[in-house]
Amino acid sequence: MKTMLKVQWYYLIDKTAAAFIGLFAVFVFVAIFTASEASLGMAALDVDRIRRAFVYRSSGVLAVRLSASVLAIFLGLHGWSKTQRRAGVYFIAQRKDVFRFAAAKAIAAAFILVVFVLASALFYGLVGGYLTPYFTLVATDARLFADILAEALFFLALQGLVTTTFDGVFAGIPAFVLFWILESAAPVSPEVGIDVLFLVVRHARLDETGIATLGDPRVQALVLVALFSALIVVFAKKDMN
């Protein structure tokens, strides 16, 4: 498995992927720094602390959520494309190796998202804690970033499954549409039909009253496990050639 992980890391982080990851990282860092308004100085930021803290949290969460989810969709498209599948024939000697290869690919891609979200969270905490007088890192922040990671992993598995099954130029459309629906729809009540999506997808939200993320984390965790299991099985059974 160690060798398989090294192989997946090499193929996932090529020049194209590295450029996309770097672009998303720069976007997140600029968005967080801009949201902090640190350039105004400590004295100016000492006014209206509650409002500034809320704007910083909500803007930071939005920037990281957007970047992590789009990065996840990109990795699902890039890592599970037909070209990437063909590379597997050089590292698979027997049938059981196919499942190890598929599992290693999912683990490597998930690891990239974990590192990306953790790095974003660290920068968010450092900027808010050291460059502003209004921000203090609390448990709510950890919960929000955990929700962001859960959503990104959902889109990674979903996109990987769609790409493996229907590889093509339009394979990314369903995931992007779903993300747009989650982002634009307001989860106001369980009776609204669209809210069923929030029961299975962990979509981090913050409003004036606190965290507004809906759904049962246990159900959402089961959905993630089911998606990754399906991804590994479908990819392993797909023709590598």
Among 1-15, 99-113, 173-187, the range scoring the smallest mean pLDDT is 1-15
* Whole-number Cα distances in Å, 62 to 39, 55, 89, 165, 166: 21, 10, 40, 30, 30
Backbone angles phi, psi at 205, to 5 degrees: -135, 150
* Whole-number Cα distances in Å, 18 to 24, 78, 201: 10, 12, 27
Share of the chain above pLDDT 70, in %: 86
- Give pLDDT, residue 194: 62
pLDDT at 87 over 80: no
pLDDT band at 88 (very low <50, low <70, confident <90, very high): low
Among 66-75, 100-109, 147-156, the range scoring the smallest mean pLDDT is 100-109
pLDDT band at 55 (very low <50, low <70, confident <90, very high): very high
Residues with Cβ within 8 Å of 164's Cβ and at least 6 positions away in sequence, in order, are 80, 85, 231, 234, 235, 238
Residues with Cβ within 8 Å of 133's Cβ and at least 6 positions away in sequence, in order, are 42, 45, 46, 49
The answer to whether the pTM exceeds 0.85 is yes
pLDDT at 190 over 50: no
Mean pLDDT along residues 49-63: 93
For the chain, give the mean pLDDT: 86
Contact (CB, 8 A) for 198 and 214: yes
Among 54-68, 98-112, 179-193, the range scoring the smallest mean pLDDT is 179-193
Among 19-23, 200-204, 234-238, the range scoring the smallest mean pLDDT is 234-238
Share of the chain above pLDDT 90, in %: 52
Provide the 10 A C-beta neighbour count for residue 177.
10
Question: What are the pLDDT digits (tens) for 111-123?
Answer: 999 999 999 999 9
Alpha-carbon gap, residue 160 to 86, rounded angstroms: 15
pLDDT band at 25 (very low <50, low <70, confident <90, very high): very high
> What are the structural domain ranges in the chain?
2-237
- Give pLDDT, residue 239: 59
Mean pLDDT along residues 76-93: 72
Alpha-carbon gap, residue 82 to 79, rounded angstroms: 9
One-letter amino acid at 81 equals: S
Question: What are the pLDDT digits (tens) for 126-178?
Answer: 999 999 999 998 998 999 999 999 999 999 999 999 999 887 778 899 999 99
pLDDT at 6 over 90: no
pLDDT at 101 over 70: yes
